[in-house]
């Protein structure tokens, strides 16, 4: 309990700090210094009142202190990420300029829909940007439950497309249910890993084991193998930076590694023909060049004809050779149309975007915020890397979009929500109290 004199001093200091969100943190920091100074004066023989007065005098003018602290505790905006988002949004319209012949619709139709999705995405980013992300910290069990409920809904009422029952109709819009559930599982695990050291007992470690593998099993059942891969690396990335006690980390790593090996063996021997077909086509595309291996041949041909400066956006050849040029294969389309020079620049911009997010993770001293940003960086990095590498035949071709560039509302809204959270953590990095032990000490 601080004295009235200290309270008056602190009120004067915070009156000059515009961000009300930072007031409590500033008061806690300053009251600690005031109490230390007061105690030192008491030891010299001063009375309680005189010691407090001396402590206040030594601190200096409260209004001057407040004016110095004000710029240090202002909400920050990462304009680089915002500019890159706008740049990606502009690029996403390029594959739609001439329409999509498979659907016999004009480019105006698809560009109009893309504009609607991006309008919703901007609103979503703004909503998450100005929301206090720390209020989500203790709601992990609810987020996990929502993710499970989405899968139950998909099982009962999901719309099947291309062999995967993963679509949900909401208010006339068809959205990807697996992407929705991935977002909630991501939030759930950020909360779990924030307090992971509370799960030391064998019973709780068993619970973590079950919680981790249930979503992977559900994504395999849909089936949506790519989302299960993104989920796996997202949780792995957050786990690596979660400040886990060594013994607990070793137990969880060994247990899940063994389970993963067993899971892969069981799955590969279960006769999942879809996945086996994909893998065999990846290993030997020429064995079925007009079937499962066609896309490998098509992408290779399209990229080989690109040249340094491309063939222009208005051409029919690329659509005939390359189905889904506006979604999963937006990258080879852009390279074919605008050339390898554009392709290299695009890869560089994507690398800057992901590395910027990764660096931002370590600018916050709040562990929960750091986990959100690390998980978010992984959610961008994995599909981006996989999408580009599959175009070069380095990894199997799967249904994965290029974040913010491929056409499609569900993915755009998903990545917008993740980006909004990342920007939120950056915005509040100087407003939250440190929760990472070594950074509290420093």
Domains of the chain by residue range: 4-73, 79-441
In whole angstroms, give the CA distance from residue 204 to residue 215: 18
Q: How confident is the model at residue 442 (pLDDT cuts 50, 70, 90)?
A: very low
Which burial class, exposed, middle or buried, applies to 213 when counting CB atoms under 10 A from its CB (0-12, 13-18, 19+)? middle
pLDDT in tens, 418-438: 999 999 999 988 777 777 766
The rounded percent of the chain whose pLDDT value lies above 70 is 88
Contact between 144 and 184 (Cβ < 8 Å): yes
User: Higher model confidence: residue 220 or residue 437?
Assistant: 220
Task: State the pLDDT at residue 317.
Answer: 54
Task: State the pLDDT at residue 33.
Answer: 80
**Helix ranges, 272-366 (H):** 273-283, 294-304, 317-321, 330-338, 340-361
Q: Which neighbouring-strand residues pair with 167?
A: 159, 176
- The reported pTM is 0.86
In whole angstroms, give the CA distance from residue 43 to residue 54: 13
In whole angstroms, how large is the CA radius of gyration of the chain? 26
User: Higher model confidence: residue 185 or residue 58?
Assistant: 185
Least confident of 182-191, 209-218, 228-237, 271-280: 271-280
Q: How confident is the model at residue 397 (pLDDT cuts 50, 70, 90)?
A: confident
Q: How confident is the model at residue 51 (pLDDT cuts 50, 70, 90)?
A: confident
Residue 104 has pLDDT above 70, yes or no: no
Task: State the pLDDT at residue 2.
Answer: 63
Q: Is the C-alpha dihedral spanning 185, 191, 194, 195 positive or negative? A: negative
């Amino acid at each position: 309990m601080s004295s009235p004199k200290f309270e008056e001093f602190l009120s004067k200091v915070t009156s000059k700090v515009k961000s009300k969100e930072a007031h409590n943190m500033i008061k806690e920091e300053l009251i600690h210094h005031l109490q230390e100074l007061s105690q030192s004066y008491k030891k010299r023989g001063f009375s309680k009142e005189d010691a407090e007065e001396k402590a206040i005098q030594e601190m200096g003018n409260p209004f001057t202190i407040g004016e110095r602290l004000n710029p240090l505790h202002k909400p920050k905006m990462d304009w680089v990420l915002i500019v890159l988002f706008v740049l990606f949004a502009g690029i996403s319209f390029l594959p739609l300029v001439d329409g999509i012949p498979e659907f016999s619709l004009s480019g105006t139709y698809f560009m109009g829909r893309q504009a609607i999705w991006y309008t919703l995405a901007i609103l979503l980013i703004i909503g998450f940007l100005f929301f206090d992300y720390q209020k989500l910290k203790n709601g992990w069990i609810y987020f996990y439950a929502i993710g499970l409920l989405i899968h139950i809904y998909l099982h009962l009422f999901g719309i099947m497309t291309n062999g995967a029952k993963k679509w949900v109709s909401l208010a006339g819009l068809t959205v990807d249910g697996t992407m929705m559930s991935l977002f909630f599982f991501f939030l759930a695990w950020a909360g779990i890993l924030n307090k992971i050291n509370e799960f030391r007992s064998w019973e709780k470690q068993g619970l973590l084991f079950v919680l981790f593998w249930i979503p992977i099993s559900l994504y395999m059942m849909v089936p949506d193998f790519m989302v299960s891969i993104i989920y796996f690396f997202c949780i792995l990335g957050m786990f690596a930076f979660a400040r886990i006690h060594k013994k607990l980390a070793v137990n969880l790593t060994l247990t899940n590694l063994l389970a993963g090996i067993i899971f892969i063996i069981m799955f590969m021997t279960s006769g999942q023909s879809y996945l086996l077909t994909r893998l065999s086509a990846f290993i030997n595309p020429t064995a079925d060049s007009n079937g499962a291996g066609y896309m490998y041949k098509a992408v290779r041909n399209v990229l080989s004809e690109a040249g340094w400066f491309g063939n222009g956006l208005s051409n029919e050849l690329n659509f005939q050779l390359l189905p889904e040029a506006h979604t999963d294969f937006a990258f080879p389309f852009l390279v074919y149309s605008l050339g390898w020079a554009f392709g290299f620049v695009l890869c560089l911009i994507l690398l800057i975007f992901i590395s910027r997010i990764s660096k931002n993770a370590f600018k916050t001293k709040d562990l929960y915020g750091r986990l959100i940003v690390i998980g978010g960086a992984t959610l961008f990095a994995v599909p981006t890397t996989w999408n580009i590498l599959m175009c070069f035949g380095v990894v199997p071709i799967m249904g994965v979009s290029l974040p913010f560039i491929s056409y499609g509302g569900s993915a755009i809204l998903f990545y917008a929500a993740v980006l909004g959270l990342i920007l939120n953590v950056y915005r509040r990095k100087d407003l939250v109290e440190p929760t990472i032990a070594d950074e509290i000490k420093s």
